[in-house]
């Protein structure tokens, strides 16, 4: 990607790690219906919010990621340079921030006047990864080789292509993993590995993962400036990280982030994949990933979001998951690629996966996975704010 701030805008990726990481959709404490967790709104945390009020903090940060992807700019391109060391300085006005506000108002007005309020025009419609929209046709683009088709694109099937049904593809996937009976024998997983990405300056740090059926998950990355935790207790989810990375010490997740993360929790124990989603569809155009033919199916989450799953045609294994998080200015695509499948207690598990989203990329590599170990319930409790490591004695 083009230039990025060292403080990457986390627009959902930290809760979008498939199979061994994630959080789930839901509100309230586990087993206590009616005690809804109130999401933090953007204006509750940040100052000088004008046109993006009334949305959760995570969705607000996702919107920043959408701007970044649309214009190929990083945080300090639009904010003052001092903001890289201070969340408070993000509130300072700059000419580009003021322009962005006008553009959002203009985009909303176009969609309302010309498309009946349906969002058909976004920042990306005109900018396409450039700071300034192009106004002159490019003969190089017109007569040059067209770019390859992006298999992550949102598609609407008018006439599905012939081929196996979604149920057949999913059945092959379950068998490729080891079969329903073997999958149901896994009640928990404890894993150790490494984590690296924008937030670690691409250095590998130690990672601990705890997962308990049906959908409790915890991930702790042991970073130099303090641990970064993503916790899901069965209904609620939080991110706790050093204050240089998230705007509040413990950030609750809500709305689209929880909906997308529920997909990860469900796929973590894939024996019930067909029941955990609805409106399964197949028949998408033929496509490849890394020159390998894949079969694509699409399902719908309980909250109505669509997810696309890409299965290697020959092996039947899942090699990519794609979903879209909604923001006020457009959909944010996130895809998770996994590989290095290894057999653990008779079940194939991906030991490596790469999460790519609009403002960063994270790579997870597991070194060991132990099944069916007892896990203390405290691992899935609401995290406490991380404590910075003590400086080394001189």
Domain end (from 143, 176, 207): 143
pLDDT digits (tens, 9 = 90+) for 30-51: 333 344 567 789 999 889 999 9
SS3 295: strand
Examine residue 296 and state whether it is found in any structural domain, yes or no. Answer: yes
Does position 27 have pLDDT exceeding 60, yes or no?
Answer: no
**Confidence (pLDDT) at 282:** 93
Tell me what the pLDDT averaged over the chain comes to: 83
**CATH classification of the domain holding 78:** 1.10.468.10
**Confidence (pLDDT) at 358:** 82
SS3 341: strand
Which whole number is the average pLDDT over 255-259?
A: 76
DSSP 220-252: EEEETTEEEEEEE-SS-EEEE--TTTSSSSEEE
**CATH classification of the domain holding 370:** 2.50.20.10
SS3 303: coil
pLDDT digits (tens, 9 = 90+) for 159-216: 677 889 999 999 999 999 999 999 999 999 999 999 998 888 899 999 999 999 888 8
Question: Rounded CA gap, 10 and 361, in Å?
Answer: 10
Domain end (from 80, 110, 143): 143
Examine residue 200 and state whether it is found in any structural domain, yes or no. Answer: yes
Beta pairing class for 216-223 and 226-232: antiparallel
Looking at the structure of the chain, the number of domains it has is 2
Examine residue 155 and state whether it is found in any structural domain, yes or no. Answer: no
285 and 197 in a common domain: yes
Domain end (from 143, 175, 200): 143
Partnered with residue 229 across adjacent β-strands are: 220, 240
173 and 132 in a common domain: no
Examine residue 135 and state whether it is found in any structural domain, yes or no. Answer: yes
* Omega before 315 within 30 of 0, i.e. cis: no
Using a 10 angstrom Cβ sphere, with 0-12 exposed, 13-18 middle and 19 or more buried, the burial of residue 199 is buried
Examine residue 225 and state whether it is found in any structural domain, yes or no. Answer: yes
21: confidence class by pLDDT, cuts 50, 70, 90: very low
Of 356, 256, 339, the residue nearest 301 (C-alpha): 256
Does position 251 have pLDDT exceeding 60, yes or no?
Answer: yes
Examine residue 392 and state whether it is found in any structural domain, yes or no. Answer: no
26: confidence class by pLDDT, cuts 50, 70, 90: very low
Enclosing domain of residue 315: 166-380
Examine residue 179 and state whether it is found in any structural domain, yes or no. Answer: yes
**Confidence (pLDDT) at 29:** 33
Examine residue 100 and state whether it is found in any structural domain, yes or no. Answer: yes
Contact 373, 191 (CB under 8 A): no
């Amino acid at each position: 990607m083009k230039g990025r701030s060292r403080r990457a805008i986390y627009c959902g990726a930290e809760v979008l790690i498939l199979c061994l990481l994630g959080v789930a959709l839901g509100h309230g404490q586990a087993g206590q219906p009616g005690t809804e967790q109130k999401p933090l709104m953007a204006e509750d945390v940040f100052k000088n919010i004008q046109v993006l009020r009334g949305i959760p903090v995570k969705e607000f940060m996702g919107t920043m990621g959408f701007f970044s992807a649309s214009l190929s700019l990083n945080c300090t391109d639009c904010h003052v340079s001092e903001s890289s060391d201070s969340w408070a300085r993000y509130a300072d006005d700059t000419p580009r921030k003021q322009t962005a506000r006008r553009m959002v108002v203009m985009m909303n007005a176009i969609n309302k006047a010309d498309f009946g309020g349906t969002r058909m025009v976004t920042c990306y419609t005109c900018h396409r990864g450039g700071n300034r929209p192009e106004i002159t046709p490019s003969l190089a683009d017109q007569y040059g080789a067209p770019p390859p088709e992006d298999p992550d694109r949102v598609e609407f099937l008018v006439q599905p292509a012939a081929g196996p049904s979604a149920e057949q593809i999913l059945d092959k996937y379950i068998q490729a993993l080891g079969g329903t009976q073997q999958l149901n024998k896994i009640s928990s997983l404890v894993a150790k590995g490494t984590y690296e990405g924008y937030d670690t300056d691409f250095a590998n740090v130690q990672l601990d993962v705890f997962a308990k059926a049906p959908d409790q998950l915890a991930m702790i990355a042991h970073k130099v400036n303090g641990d970064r935790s993503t916790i899901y207790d069965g209904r609620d989810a939080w991110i706790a990280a050093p204050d240089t990375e998230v705007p509040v010490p413990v950030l609750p997740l809500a709305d689209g982030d929880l909906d997308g993360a529920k997909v990860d929790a469900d796929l973590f124990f894939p024996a019930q994949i067909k029941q955990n989603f609805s409106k399964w569809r197949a028949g998408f155009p033929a496509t490849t990933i890394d020159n390998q033919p894949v079969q694509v199916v699409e399902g719908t989450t309980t909250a109505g979001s669509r997810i696309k799953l890409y299965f290697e045609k020959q092996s039947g294994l899942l090699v990519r998951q794609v979903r879209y998080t909604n923001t006020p200015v457009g959909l944010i695509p996130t895809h998770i690629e996994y590989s290095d499948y290894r057999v653990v207690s008779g079940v194939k598990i991906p030991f490596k996966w790469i999460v790519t989203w609009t403002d960063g990329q994270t790579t997870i590599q597991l070194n060991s996975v132990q099944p069916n170990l007892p896990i203390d319930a405290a691992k899935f409790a609401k995290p406490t704010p991380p404590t910075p490591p003590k400086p080394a004695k001189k």
